[in-house]
Amino acid sequence: MRQSKLFGKTIKEAAKDEISLNARLLNRGGFVEKLMSGVYSYLPLGLRVLDKIKNIVREEMNATGAMEVLMPTLQPKELWDETGRWEGMKDVMFQFKGRGDSDIGLGCTHEEVITDLVRKRIFSYKELPVSLYQIQDKFRNEPRAKSGLLRGREFWMKDMYSFHTTESDFEKYYDEVKLSYLQLFKRCGLDAKIVEASGGIFTEKFSHEFQVFCETGEDTIHYCRECDFAQNIEICEENVGDKCPKCGGEVFESKGIEVGNIFPLETKYSGAMNACFTDKNGERKPMIMGCYGLGPSRIMGTIVEVSHDDKGIIWPKEVAPFAVHLVALGNDEKVFSSADQLYDKLVSAGMEVLYDDREESAGIKLGDSDLLGIPMRIVISNRTLEKNSAEIKMRAEENAELVELDKLLETIKE
Ligand code: ATP
Ligand code: MG
């Protein structure tokens, strides 16, 4: 992509009402634009990042044997009355009147809709287990939506629901999803820790959160550095400095951003909504359910919160909008024609390249390159061309290296 044609130029100052670091950098870089509190447009660069995150999520969920579906955002009150959650959701769910006085809500979570879908389609133990997920924008009337992509009122969620005949089959799958979550966060460049938490509005039981330790996080976690003990303080009985209840080590505290949350639902929804299967003996039983949420847009914001420096964003490889930022410095014919050639060569080799072909000063171009945070920068200038070379620099590293143009492709591929 030629940067001269890119919609969404960088800007010097973030919009005044953006206070969070992720929103400020993403806004300056031309990744997102706020429409109103907690509601964002994704510009071409931002959409590329979001889509990459969604695709990683998709790959990892598919690898657990789950299947992707897409459920409606408009949901009828009657369905929510079956579980008695319509009233309790009033603060969170956008609820309004449709035609003919019908009550409608915008999807803030989909337990009711998926349970309805499954009870209409699955009847026998032979059809279980099944795990279904969707990647969809969700709506929640959040009271504090000042953290950029970390807390949207319209935001992206991957929500997955699994249905099982036995508790042990459920547990096996639940543990598998835990591992796949850790794997997908790692691919997104995030080090997420599994933290025990309450079940919130979903279940009376506990849940497991995936927390990325970060000072700007809203959650507080007590954890042990010697073992895997970690609890959200909303349920933790240990204080900082206490003995770890698991290994006798010490309890520490950290702020965290909740990037994912998974819940054993048992038969809460299947029982209330009569989502039953017939077992081997012909007996009807409610399905045992789990649900597994994570937020692609919050993940995007979290990556920026933990991976940046004073110059801008540092995208991890797998989620970066482009792999290479090719920058032509010097604004003369020779430089542009060499850079054009290199651009064509890289693109033909299947690389994702953003090519800064603008007539701007070196200062502006290099500054923008740091702000955008593409993992590899390749600079072509009169100075590099004197040596028939280009300069390669990784965004996350200090050192730059001159590489001969002939050897560039091999070098990059390493
Ligand atoms: P929080 O406690 O932060 O409000 P939650 O526990 O209500 O989140 P869940 O219902 O567990 O969130 O949603 C699953 C996932 O969806 C979360 O782990 C998070 O990654 C994402 N998510 C939830 N609410 C938001 C939001 N308002 N904006 C962006 N992402 C969100
Ligand atoms: Mg949660």
Q: What strands lie across the sheet with 376-380, from one edge to the other?
A: 353-356, 324-328, 376-380, 389-394, 400-404
Percent of the chain predicted with pLDDT > 70: 99
What value does the mean pLDDT take over residues 366-393?
A: 98
Q: Give the residue from 21, 50, 264 showing the smallest Cα distance to 157.
A: 50
For ligand 1, is residue 219 a contact (CB within 6 Å)?
no
CA of 385 to the centre of ligand 1 (A): 50
Q: State in Å: Cα 381 to ligand 2 middle.
A: 50
- Residue 238 near ligand 1, beta carbon < 6 Å: no
Identify the pLDDT of residue 204.
73
Mutate to test the pocket of ligand 1, among 157, 300, 302 (most ligand atoms within 8 A of CB): 157
CB of 293 shorter than 6 A to ligand 1: yes
Instruction: Report yes or no: 107 and 98 within 8 Å, Cβ to Cβ.
Output: no
Predicted confidence band of residue 199 (pLDDT cuts 50, 70, 90): confident
pLDDT digits (tens, 9 = 90+) for 333-365: 999 999 999 999 999 999 999 999 999 999 999
Give me the pLDDT at residue 400, please.
Answer: 97
Average pLDDT of span 296-317: 98
- Cβ-contact 17, 34 below 8 angstroms: yes
Q: What is the model's pTM?
A: 0.97
If we measure between CA atoms, which residue out of 339, 410, 381 comes closest to residue 2?
A: 339
Q: Give the ligand 1 atom nearest the CA of 140.
A: 27
**Helices and strands per DSSP (H, E), number in the chain:** 11, 23
pLDDT value for 144: 84
Report the distance separating Cα 299 and Cα 150, nearest Å.
8
For 51-101, write each residue's pLDDT tens digit.
999 999 999 999 999 999 999 999 999 999 999 999 999 999 999 999 999
Radius of gyration of the chain (CA): 25
Strands 376-380, 324-328: pairing is parallel
- CA–centroid distance, 109 to ligand 1, in Å, is 10
Q: What pLDDT does 331 receive?
A: 84
Measured CA to CA, the distance from residue 310 to residue 234 in angstroms comes to 34
Which of 390, 391, 320 lies closest to 353 in space, CA to CA?
320
Q: What pLDDT does 414 receive?
A: 79
**pLDDT on residue 200:** 76
- Whether the per-residue pLDDT at 201 is higher than 80: the answer is no
Q: Which residues are within 8 A (CB) of 354 and not within 5 positions of it... i.e. 6 or more apart?
A: 1, 3, 6, 321, 322, 324, 325, 326, 372, 374
| CB 252, CB 167: distance < 8 Å | no
CA 190 vs CA 20, 175, 319: distances in Å: 19, 20, 11
- Collapsing DSSP to helix, strand or coil, 382 comes out as helix
Q: How far apart are CA 127 and CA 108, in angstroms?
A: 28
Please name the residue that has the structure tokens 């690389």: 351
Any bridge partners for residue 219, and if so which?
Answer: 256
Q: How many residues does the chain have?
A: 414
User: Mean pLDDT score of the chain, rounded to an integer?
Assistant: 96
* Dist CA 284 CA 119 (whole Å): 12
Banded model confidence at residue 205, pLDDT cuts 50, 70, 90: confident
CA dihedral 409, 411, 413, 414 (to 10 degrees): 170
The answer, yes or no, to whether any atom of ligand 1 lies below 6 A from the CB of 325, is: no
Cα(271) to ligand 1 centroid in Å equals 25
Domains of the chain plus CATH, in order, are 3-309 (3.30.930.10), 322-413 (3.40.50.800)
Residue 27 has pLDDT above 80, yes or no: yes
Ligand nearest, relative to CA of residue 139: 1
Closest atom of ligand 1 to 109 CA is 10
